[in-house]
Structure 1
Amino acid sequence: MNSDTLGGGGRDLGGSIKEGAGAATGNESLRAEGVTDQLSGQVQKGYGVARDSVAPLASKAKQFARDRPYAAAALAGVVGLAILNTLRGR
């Protein structure tokens, strides 16, 4: 877990409370703000989960580049050419 995952969960919970309070009091503005906060919290939480899942892959890529610098450079070149050709429409 990282700060984005925790912060998103907190924002989502706060939005749920705001939405409930707005619905209970009939305040549509507060209810809409709560729904917005929930959506924002869910997006932030999703970003945090994605960041946590990519971190091990990035670590392995860095280790590969340290262990085999020439192979890593060749791989980067091949991937770069593939992207370039894809963008050019070949």
Structure 2
Amino acid sequence: MMNKDEFQGGARYVGGKVEKAVGDAVDSRDWQVDGVVDQVAGGVQHGYGRARSIVEDAVDSAPELADAARERLKAAGERVADSARTGGHAAVQTVHDTPVLWALAAALGGYGLAWFIHGRRD
């Protein structure tokens, strides 16, 4: 939908074209200059009105975009949670399948941590 500035700017631009054409026909420098000035001013006003319409359309659609983003974020969170559950179950199953290996790894990790904290004792 066209707003007031778009309409008035377009009308002023067309009026300026007519004014310049009349100035050319009667060889009036004043009419020619006024026509060009109205064309430029009308073009600027029309451009401003167009930009305003675009911004208003964006603002009007913002709630819909926010809802869509919220839904995508929720779906992504659910996928991450599913992936974490699957990975956690796989880790638990690995520990159940090879308990001796994991006990040895835990003992070595504990020894390394104790050595790092307390240092070597001579």
Q: TM-score, normalised by structure 1?
A: 0.65
Instruction: Give the partner amino acid of 1:55.
Output: E
Deviation at 1:57, TM superposition (A): 2.1
1:15 paired to 2:16: yes
Task: Determine what percentage of the aligned residue pairs are the same residue.
Answer: 37
The structure with the larger Rg is: 2
Per the alignment, residue 50 of structure 2 pairs with: 49
Structure 1: segments with no counterpart, 5+ residues = 65-90
Deviation at 1:34, TM superposition (A): 0.2
Instruction: Give the partner amino acid of 1:58.
Output: V
Instruction: Give the partner amino acid of 2:13.
Output: D
Per the alignment, residue 26 of structure 2 pairs with: 25
Per the alignment, residue 37 of structure 1 pairs with: 38
Computed over aligned residues only, the root mean square deviation of the Cα atoms, in angstroms, reads: 1.8
Residues paired across the two proteins, number: 64
Q: TM-score, normalised by structure 2?
A: 0.49
Instruction: Give the partner amino acid of 1:56.
Output: D
Per the alignment, residue 83 of structure 1 pairs with: none
Instruction: Give the partner amino acid of 1:38.
Output: Q
